[in-house]
Amino acid sequence: MSTIPPARKSGRSWALLLVLCGTIFLEGSDVAMLAVAIPTIRTDLGLTTGTATWVMSGYVLGYAGFTGFLVLFLEAATCQRHRPPAETIAVAQRAADAPC
């Protein structure tokens, strides 16, 4: 029986992993900041606790949905052998954060 040697990861794979880990950390800290701010938002807008929970859930789902869309866009571009410029990605991320 032969053993298959483990595949070596390229530097690009490690860089991608680092970027994805950073993104997950930033999204988690964003949600944590929102959790701290939600009582003040609730009081200022005169919302009930249930409504404030829906506001927070909508924000998180919208943010996650955009992130998923961006990942699918990049995957489709990679499959077509066309990499979008970094400026396009940065503008899309800024547009997603603009309402915040």
Give SS3 for 74: helix
pLDDT at residue 10 is higher than 60: yes
Tokens of 9: 């990861």
Q: What is the pLDDT of residues 12-22, one digit of tens each?
A: 777 777 877 88
Instruction: Tell me the CA end-to-end span of the chain in Å, nearest whole number.
Output: 58
pLDDT tens digit sequence for 39-96: 998 999 999 988 888 888 888 887 777 777 776 776 666 666 666 556 666 666 666 6
For tokens 């506001």, name the residue.
55
